[in-house]
Amino acid sequence: MPNTHYDIIAIGNAIVDVLSAASEDFLAEENINKGSMQLIDADRAEMLYTKMNAGHEISGGSAANTLVGVAALGGRCAFIGQVADDCLGKVFQHDIRAQNIDFKVPLRDAEIPTGRCLILVSPDGERTMNTFLGVAQYLHSEAIQPEMIEKAAILYLEGYLWDPEQPRAAMREAIKIARKAGRKVALTLSDAFCIERHRDDFKQLINDGLIDILFANEVELKSLVQHDDFDRGVSEVAEKLPLLVVTRGPNGAIAIKDNIRTETLAKKVERVVDTTGAGDLFAAGFLAGQARDLSIAASLEMGAIAAAEIISHYGARPERDIKKVIESALNVSLN
């Protein structure tokens, strides 16, 4: 197998987050299911934006957030996703490249605008996402650069992007390329409602042995197995996969590899400001550890530290030097 040029290549929604504080009342009035992600169209996006509080615009997208975390921890990354040649598209392109992540998909003409996610942050830090996918949902198979995928140790796929047809086809194609090249494939289940929409597909991918690493949170895992017995659910899924990682919010996270279950506690955070990106950054820390051939325990610890940083401020991109924090906590060098 030839050497890898990237630790991770990810395919995901290329979107800019618009974060703003929202009361519980506002969520109720707007009939928005707290804590979830829902897809919205252009009209709804316009209407909701008009009503919501002043915002911060910060580049986002679940898999892109994860890559930014991996890159901040010294990993070599590339991203595949679609933005338009408009202001938000240029912001996304700038921000991901500024993190030393290869991003080569050409900007599309701005007829369909760059996707955005209106994120309503409740007083308790919980985030509710209203995603207008925009041009992100028109990611073509042609945007999948086989030579980049062949050179990446892990292909990381964002479950959210399973919704629109073209990116789903593109991701199926990417899985084939990665497996043919002997690379690993990781999938994040993204959201319980996303699983509702695509449970059969996700199960099929797992049953066909196409997924090497699966990321889920507790709610998503239960949605996948369609029952509430967490430990039984974990066993059922873990036996079909080389590696399963399940995050449990304030209760930490677990990983099951070769029937061995490893746990980590969540890190204490002085004040939870905004949980946007907690799962994304957990995956980042974990994957960065795996890319360094660190143990499962150390990788989980890295995930927990990265997640703790991200929930202590607005937005899903790190603000502090998480590499330094992790190096000092684990007594490792990530250079």
The residue type at 39: L
Q: Give dist(CA 156, CA 204) in Å, integer.
A: 17
∠ CA(284), CA(290), CA(291), 5° rounding? 85
C-alpha closest to that of 304 among 323, 288, 281? 281
The answer to whether residue 54 forms part of the interface with a copy of itself (CB under 8 A) is yes
CB 133 within 8 A of CB 39: yes
Alpha carbon 122 to chain centroid, angstroms: 21
Strand partners, 255: 245, 262
C-alpha closest to that of 219 among 249, 262, 244? 249
Structural tokens at position 197:
């929409």
User: Closest separation between CB of residue 317 and a copy of itself, Å?
Assistant: 6
The answer to whether residue 260 forms part of the interface with a copy of itself (CB under 8 A) is no
Q: Give dist(CA 246, CA 218) in Å, integer.
A: 6
From the number of C-beta atoms within 10 Å of its C-beta (0-12, 13-18, 19+), residue 288 rates as buried
CB 179 within 8 A of CB 150: no
User: Closest separation between CB of residue 54 and a copy of itself, Å?
Assistant: 4
In the chain, alpha helices (H) = 24-29, 42-51, 62-72, 87-97, 146-150, 165-180, 192-207, 218-225, 230-238, 278-291, 296-310, 322-330
Applying CB under 8 A, which part among 89-97, 167-175, 182-190, 229-237 lies near a copy of itself? Answer: 89-97
* C-beta closer to a copy of itself: residue 208 or 319: 319
The answer to whether residue 323 forms part of the interface with a copy of itself (CB under 8 A) is no
Residues within window 124-153 making contact with a copy of itself, judged by CB under 8 A = none
From the number of C-beta atoms within 10 Å of its C-beta (0-12, 13-18, 19+), residue 154 rates as buried
> Of 95, 191, 218, 309, which one interacts with a copy of itself (CB under 8 A)?
95
The answer to whether residue 88 forms part of the interface with a copy of itself (CB under 8 A) is yes
User: Closest separation between CB of residue 326 and a copy of itself, Å?
Assistant: 18
The answer to whether residue 96 forms part of the interface with a copy of itself (CB under 8 A) is yes
Query: What would the x/- binding string for a copy of itself be over residues 272 to 291, using CB under 8 A?
Result: -x------------------
Residues within window 61-80 making contact with a copy of itself, judged by CB under 8 A = 68
How many residues bind a copy of itself, per CB under 8 A?
28
The answer to whether residue 83 forms part of the interface with a copy of itself (CB under 8 A) is no
The answer to whether residue 218 forms part of the interface with a copy of itself (CB under 8 A) is no
Residues within window 183-212 making contact with a copy of itself, judged by CB under 8 A = none
User: Closest separation between CB of residue 219 and a copy of itself, Å?
Assistant: 28
Applying CB under 8 A, which part among 207-215, 287-295, 312-320, 325-333 lies near a copy of itself? Answer: 312-320
Query: What would the x/- binding string for a copy of itself be over residues 13 to 52, using CB under 8 A?
Result: -------xx---------------------------xx-x
> Of 317, 322, 323, 326, which one interacts with a copy of itself (CB under 8 A)?
317
The answer to whether residue 314 forms part of the interface with a copy of itself (CB under 8 A) is yes
* C-beta closer to a copy of itself: residue 100 or 295: 100
From the number of C-beta atoms within 10 Å of its C-beta (0-12, 13-18, 19+), residue 88 rates as buried
Q: Residue 179, Cβ neighbours under 10 Å: how many?
A: 15
CB 51 within 8 A of CB 30: yes
The answer to whether residue 264 forms part of the interface with a copy of itself (CB under 8 A) is no
The answer to whether residue 55 forms part of the interface with a copy of itself (CB under 8 A) is yes
Positions touching a copy of itself (CB under 8 A) are 20-21, 49-50, 52-59, 68, 86-88, 91, 94-96, 98-99, 273, 313-315, 317, 319
